[in-house]
């Protein structure tokens, strides 16, 4: 269920003591989908930090000043929820209420008693003292039905990863129109262009079901075969990868292009094929997704023909990798 975005009123901010804590209230509010944090008195350091994070990581979160917080609460067009260890139990609360565009009120030290009276709800996240950041995170997580809301991306994207850090600089990921322009400059044939668009179509379908970074997937689909403007041999992945590198485009995109062939190529197979000696096995979700979209863009029949052809050419293991990619994407092919 898509819910209305909450806002946060942070009371009791002391410029000398609470900068870090209030910044963290703002960061938590933003990360869990809120749109504004109100402060009774603006702190420019807190505001600038949040502005910078929002510019880099996306969304349109804002820190605002409210000269009269009582009026803000009274005139709020939605539910006002005060988080306090003395409130009613959060589990009970969510089983009884469906909130509308909530204003979440949190304190730093003791809040004035008027807050209890003016708020529509006083809710506790366990009746033990802890922190406004923890209380806000737990409450918003419940409010969001335990999923983290999406937001428009900023300059950087952090991609989920089990191992190393994956940060994408979006200024280095070409838009669809930049991809088309590049393909035209490289004299991509109409047939190849048509194929790339079919791969994009498949890739978008897969992305809807399995996730993955949309910008990388669009550019990866449109440029995966850019190396074929130079050669149709197995080295077209490496050729494409060099072109992406020359353009100064993202390394995440470069690897998608380099690793898209078949179900990937092992280091040993690469050596045999005369490719630079490294592994070309797709690892990230986006790499695997483009690989599989390329294999299946022609439909089910073409995919089984492709597998047969790869096997006939003696590449049994490669065919197996293509099949297991199909399984990973839970497709019956
Ligand atoms: N005795 C204070 C109180 O009213 O909860 C503790 C102040 S605490 C350091 C700062 C803020 O953390 C509180 O104003 C409240 O918003 C939040 N908080 C702390 N413990 C909480 C709990 N168990 N449930 C909900 N909010 C809590």
Res 331: pLDDT: 65
Res 1: pLDDT: 64
Does any ligand 1 atom lie closer than 6 A to the CB of residue 128?
yes
Domains of the chain: 7-143 (3.40.1280.10), 157-328 (1.10.3210)
Dist. CA 137 → ligand 1 center (Å): 13
Res 149: pLDDT: 85
Helices (H), the chain: 19-31, 44-57, 69-74, 90-96, 113-118, 132-143, 176-185, 190-210, 214-223, 236-246, 251-258, 267-272, 285-296, 300-312, 316-328
Does any ligand 1 atom lie closer than 6 A to the CB of residue 104?
no
> The pTM is what?
0.85
Dist. CA 183 → ligand 1 center (Å): 57
Name the residue with the closest Cα to ligand 1, atom 2: 110
Does any ligand 1 atom lie closer than 6 A to the CB of residue 241?
no
Dist. CA 148 → ligand 1 center (Å): 23
Res 2: pLDDT: 67
Q: Which of 289, 279, 46, 285 is nearest to 157 (CA)?
A: 285
Average pLDDT across each block of 10 residues of the chain; the chain has 333 residues. List them in order: 88 96 98 97 98 96 98 98 98 96 96 98 97 98 91 90 93 98 98 98 96 97 98 97 98 98 96 96 97 94 93 94 92 55
∠ Cα 241 246 247 (to 5°): 100
Dist. CA 9 → ligand 1 center (Å): 14
Atom of ligand 1 nearest to the CA of 136: 26
Res 163: pLDDT: 87
Name the residue with the closest Cα to ligand 1, atom 17: 132
Does any ligand 1 atom lie closer than 6 A to the CB of residue 85?
yes
């Amino acid at each position: 269920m898509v819910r209305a975005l909450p806002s946060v009123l942070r009371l009791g901010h002391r410029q000398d003591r609470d900068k870090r804590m209030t910044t963290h209230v703002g960061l938590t509010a933003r990360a869990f989908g809120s749109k504004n944090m109100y402060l009774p008195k603006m702190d420019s350091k807190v505001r600038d930090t949040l502005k910078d994070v929002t510019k880099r990581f996306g969304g349109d979160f804002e820190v605002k000043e409210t000269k009269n917080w009582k009026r803000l609460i009274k005139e709020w067009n939605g539910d006002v929820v005060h988080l306090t260890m003395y409130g009613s139990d959060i589990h009970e609360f969510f089983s009884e209420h469906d909130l509308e565009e909530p204003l979440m009120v949190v304190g730093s030290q003791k809040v004035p008693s008027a807050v209890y009276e003016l708020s529509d709800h006083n809710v506790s996240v366990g009746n033990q003292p802890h922190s406004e950041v923890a209380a806000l995170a737990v409450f918003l997580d419940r409010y969001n039905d335990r999923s983290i809301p999406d937001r428009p991306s900023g300059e950087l994207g952090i991609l989920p990863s089990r191992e190393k850090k994956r940060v994408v600089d979006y200024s280095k990921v070409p838009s669809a129109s930049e991809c088309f322009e590049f393909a035209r400059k490289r004299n991509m044939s109409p047939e190849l262009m048509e194929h790339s668009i079919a791969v994009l179509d498949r890739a978008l379908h897969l992305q809807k079901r399995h996730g993955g970074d949309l910008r990388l997937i669009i550019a990866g689909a449109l440029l995966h075969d850019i190396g074929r403007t130079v050669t149709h041999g197995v080295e077209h992945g490496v050729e494409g990868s060099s072109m992406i590198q020359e353009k100064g485009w993202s390394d995440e995109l470069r690897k998608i292009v380099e690793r898209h062939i078949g179900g990937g190529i092992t280091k040993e197979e690469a050596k045999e094929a005369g490719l630079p000696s490294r592994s070309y096995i797709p690892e990230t979700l986006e790499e695997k997704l483009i690989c599989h979209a390329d294999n299946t863009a022609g439909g089910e029949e073409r995919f089984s023909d492709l597998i047969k052809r790869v096997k006939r050419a003696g590449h049994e293991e490669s065919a197996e990798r293509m099949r297991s990619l199909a399984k990973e994407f839970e497709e019956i092919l």
